[in-house]
């Protein structure tokens, strides 16, 4: 597979199982080979990586070849998390967001509207006002999905509907569409052996920059205070951003409720109720 997609012979494999798998191209160059999780998944990920790279901000692995089902990227040698690298990552993330997007919900160029976040479908549909777009495309579809799967009770959906109705007053100052990684949890942050962070597995789209930061805060990240310091040095955040973290965490929490069950649904309910109480 790697040979066909890169045009270079494969000389061996360092791991015979796992997703993605690591193989060696002729000459000893290590690469990662990954199969897409659904129709359009590879196209979306490749387009996302290239869109993030085009911002010349946060570094991402280079795409070395792909087809409809498989992709090959460079392997990133990893090291230990470092405070200096965290500070630089924060500044780079701010620059990525500032690179912007044509509108909320914009897919990367050549990326599909029907994409994925992890194993969950994610629709990239255009919006002009963030509160309405976030409600329609990042909260309510996953509420319905969680109800359908039985991880949210039908009566609990009303909490999220109430929150969506109040989003215009809860969302804070208007922000332009940011270029988001879109699935920015710690597992997608690689601390390179060269002292620079790379991001992998994007669910890239145009959105609110606080959503990326909220996901980092939800799942944790080494030296997170330094990441935030670097970010705010490069692009100060609007007043009240910390009070809005739970609002932005609804998206990943509801996605996880659909994929992984009731525990995440309860966290999403708590976040929604807390936002409504403010």
| pLDDT value of position 3 | 86
Percent of the chain at pLDDT > 90 equals 85
Q: Residue 35: how many CB atoms within 10 A of its CB?
A: 13
Confidence of residue 14 (pLDDT cuts 50, 70, 90): low
Active-site annotation holder among 82, 183, 201, 212: 183
Contact 77, 99 (CB under 8 A): no
pLDDT at 18 over 70: no
Which has the minimum average pLDDT: 37-46, 74-83, 184-193?
Answer: 37-46
| pLDDT value of position 38 | 79
Q: What would the mean pLDDT of 113-117 be, rounded to a whole number? A: 95
Q: What is the mean pLDDT of the chain?
A: 94
Give me 164's structure tokens. Answer: 């969506």
**272: which residues sit within 8 A by CB, 6+ positions away?**
159, 160, 163, 246, 250
Residue 114 annotated in active site = no
| pLDDT value of position 7 | 82
Q: What would the mean pLDDT of 149-161 be, rounded to a whole number? A: 96
Q: What would the mean pLDDT of 84-93 be, rounded to a whole number? A: 98
Tens digit of each residue's pLDDT (9 = 90 or more) over 230-253 = 999 999 999 999 999 999 999 999
Instruction: Tell me the backbone φ, ψ of residue 241, rounded to 5 degrees.
Output: -65, -35
DSSP-derived secondary structure letter, 192:
B
Q: Where are the domains of the chain?
A: 77-278
For the segment(s) 77-278, the CATH number from 3.40.50.720, 3.20.20.70, 3.90.1200.10, 1.20.58.1610 is: 3.90.1200.10
Percent of the chain at pLDDT > 70 equals 98
Interatomic CA distance for residues 58 and 255, integer angstroms: 25
Tens digit of each residue's pLDDT (9 = 90 or more) over 29-70 = 899 999 888 788 999 999 999 999 999 999 999 999 999 999
Over the Cα atoms of the chain, what is R_g? 19
| pLDDT value of position 8 | 85
Q: What would the mean pLDDT of 178-201 be, rounded to a whole number? A: 96
């Amino acid at each position: 597979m790697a040979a066909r997609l890169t045009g270079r012979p494969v000389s061996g494999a360092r791991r015979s199982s796992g997703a993605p798998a690591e193989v060696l191209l002729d000459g000893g160059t290590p690469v990662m080979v990954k199969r897409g999780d659904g129709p359009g998944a590879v196209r979306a990920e490749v387009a996302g990586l290239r869109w993030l790279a085009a911002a010349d901000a946060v570094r991402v692995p280079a795409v070395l070849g792909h087809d409809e089902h498989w992709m090959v990227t460079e392997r990133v040698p990893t090291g230990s998390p470092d405070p200096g690298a965290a500070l630089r990552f924060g500044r780079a993330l701010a620059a990525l967001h500032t690179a912007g997007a044509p509108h909320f919900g914009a897919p990367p160029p050549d990326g599909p509207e029907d994409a994925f976040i992890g194993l969950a479908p994610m629709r990239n549909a255009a919006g002009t006002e963030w509160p309405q777009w976030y409600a329609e495309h990042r909260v309510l579809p996953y509420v319905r999905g969680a109800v359908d799967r039985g991880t949210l009770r039908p009566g609990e959906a009303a909490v999220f509907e109430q929150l969506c109705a109040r989003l215009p007053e809860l969302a804070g100052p208007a922000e332009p569409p940011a270029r988001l990684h879109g699935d920015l949890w710690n597992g997608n942050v690689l601390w390179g052996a060269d002292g620079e962070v790379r991001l992998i597995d994007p669910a890239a789209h145009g959105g609110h920059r606080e959503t990326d930061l909220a996901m980092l805060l939800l799942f944790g990240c080494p030296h997170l205070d330094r990441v935030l310091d670097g970010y705010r040095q490069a692009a100060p955040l609007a007043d009240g951003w910390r009070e809005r973290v739970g609002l932005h965490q609804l998206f990943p929490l509801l996605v996880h409720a659909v994929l992984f069950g009731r525990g995440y649904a309860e966290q999403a309910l708590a976040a929604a109720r807390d936002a409504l109480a403010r």
